[in-house]
Amino acid sequence: MSTIRHRIGVRNAAPQTVYDALATIDGLAGWWAVDTSGDPAVDGVIAFRFSTGGFDMLVRELVPAKSVRWEVVDGPEEWIGTEVSFELRQEDGFTVVLFEHRGWTEPVEFMYHCSTKWASFLLSLKELLETGAGRPDPHDLRISDWH
């Protein structure tokens, strides 16, 4: 099993503010995919739709101001059954976000792409909260031929 890991810090934002951007449809639409819909409560399914495809996430765990955990229930074959999590904590004027995308059965080339793309979207989350505007799909940074 392989894991994608990232760490960012959001300046001058309380953990609850970052949590809200991860646990509400409006928040998620501000940094990941403009076309986000569904039920963001525990056991709900959130549908993210991108120019290149989509993901359905089953919300597994929500701890306000602390953590968000999803299970991928639909999307690219390599993603189905994997888990995505965000852990939050305050440190030196930043809210630190520890990100994991766990459960990749093989480190296929698509995983390399998703690792870089996740970094780019986490920086979009940071931008959203620090400046008021993120770069969700379809306004995201194109990182390669795979988009």
Per the rule left: phi > 0, alpha: psi between -120 and 50, beta: everything else, 132 is: left
103 binds a copy of itself (CB under 8 A): no
Give yes or no for residue 14 binding a copy of itself (CB under 8 A): no
- Tell me the C-alpha to C-alpha distance, in Å, between residue 84 and each of 14, 114, 132, 146: 22, 12, 24, 21
Q: Is 85 in the site for a copy of itself (CB under 8 A)?
A: no
Cα(109)–Cα(27) distance, rounded to whole angstroms?
Answer: 30
Nearest to a copy of itself of 81, 93 (CB atom): 93
The residues, any chain, with a CB within 8 Å of residue 129's CB and separated by 6 or more, are 10, 13, 17, 18, 21
Q: Are 45 and 25 in contact (CB under 8 A)?
A: no
Interacting span for a copy of itself (CB under 8 A) from 21-29, 49-57, 71-79, 89-97: 89-97
Q: Is 112 in the site for a copy of itself (CB under 8 A)?
A: yes
- Size of site (CB under 8 A) for a copy of itself: 32
Residue 66 near a copy of itself by CB under 8 A: no
Residue ranges binding a copy of itself (CB under 8 A):
2-9, 91-94, 96, 98-99, 107, 109, 111-113, 115-116, 119-120, 122-123, 126, 141, 143-146
